[in-house]
């Protein structure tokens, strides 16, 4: 409850109950970041490891993390505040409401980092790389905008790769089932490690990476 109270006071967090909620679509650069720099969104950002890590690495760009868990977003927001970052923010909402928060072509890149693989067939549409979500990404991304997936889950990786390959107009730019055995792809994956990634690597589980356009 203390974290939720802090979130309510923080300008870098957009959430239900705040006047900016669902009102920034098409105006994130002007009204939130107050610059014209490109915007990258991390879906299901959790504690914001990638969002904050990328923001620290690229001060000339803007970064947003989207997640429904307010206590996790608080951690990312706190870390960004400690680092003095002004090019990072967080949106507390459900992934399927993406189009309510962003205008067509407003985003330059989307990262999906270690999402819930939703292994049951009845949950396919809930996977963050299902055709349902790819349709959303295509609407809010600029033409040629990149989508990145990092996961430990091989079935999810295979599902995503096949889905993208079968999609009209989509292009796979890079993919590997063992990122750290493919050093030439590490710069594309930005070599920032989330909490889950560190844990999976410690357990000897290969990290899969996929980059594509829609």
Q: Which helix (H) or strand (E) holds 186?
A: helix 186-189
List 208's β-bridge partners, or say none: 151
- Binding site, annotated residues for S-adenosyl-L-methionine: 42, 67, 116
Beta strand segments in 78-125, E: 88-92, 107-113
Tens of each residue's pLDDT in the chain, 214 residues: 888 888 899 999 999 999 999 999 999 999 999 999 999 999 999 999 999 999 999 999 999 999 999 999 999 999 999 999 999 999 999 999 999 999 999 999 999 999 999 999 999 999 999 999 999 999 999 999 999 999 999 999 999 999 999 999 999 999 999 999 998 998 888 778 888 888 999 999 999 999 999 9
Alpha-carbon span 106 to 100, nearest angstrom: 12
Residues acting as catalytic residues: 116
DSSP, collapsed to helix, strand or coil, labels residue 214 as coil
Predicted pLDDT at 187? 85
For residue 4, the model assigns a pLDDT of 85
State the pLDDT at residue 191.
Answer: 75
Query: How far is 43 from 147, CA to CA, in rounded Å?
Result: 10
What does the alpha-carbon distance between residue 62 and residue 193 come to, in Å, rounded to a whole number?
A: 19
Q: How far is CA 70 from the centre of its chain?
A: 16
Residue positions in the annotated binding site for substrate? 152, 194-197
pLDDT in tens, 38-87: 999 999 999 999 999 999 999 999 999 999 999 999 999 999 999 999 99
In angstroms, how far apart are the furthest CA atoms of the chain? 47
Going through 68-199 in order, the beta strands assigned E by DSSP cover 88-92, 107-113, 141-151, 171-176
Q: Write out the binding residues.
A: 42, 67, 116, 152, 194-197
């Amino acid at each position: 409850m203390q974290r939720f109270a802090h979130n309510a006071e923080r300008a870098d967090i957009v959430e239900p109950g705040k006047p900016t909620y669902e009102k920034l679509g098409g105006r994130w650069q002007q009204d939130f970041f107050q610059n014209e720099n490109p915007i990258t969104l991390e879906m299901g950002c959790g504690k914001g490891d990638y969002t904050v890590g990328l923001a620290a690495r690229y001060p000339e760009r803007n970064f947003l993390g989207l997640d429904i868990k307010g206590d996790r977003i608080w951690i990312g927001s706190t870390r960004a505040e400690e680092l003095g970052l002004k090019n990072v923010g967080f949106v507390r909402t459900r992934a399927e409401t993406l189009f309510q928060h962003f205008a067509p072509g407003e985003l330059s890149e989307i990262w999906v980092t270690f999402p819930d693989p939703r292994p049951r067939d009845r949950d396919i549409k809930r996977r963050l790389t299902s055709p349902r979500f790819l349709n959303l990404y295509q609407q809010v991304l600029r033409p040629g905008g990149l989508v990145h997936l990092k996961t430990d889950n091989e079935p999810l990786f295979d599902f995503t790769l096949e889905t993208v390959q079968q999609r009209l107009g989509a292009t796979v730019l890079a993919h590997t089932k063992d990122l750290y055995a493919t050093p030439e792809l590490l710069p594309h994956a930005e070599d920032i490690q989330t909490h889950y990634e560190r844990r999976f690597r410690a357990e000897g589980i290969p990290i899969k990476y996929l980059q594509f356009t829609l």
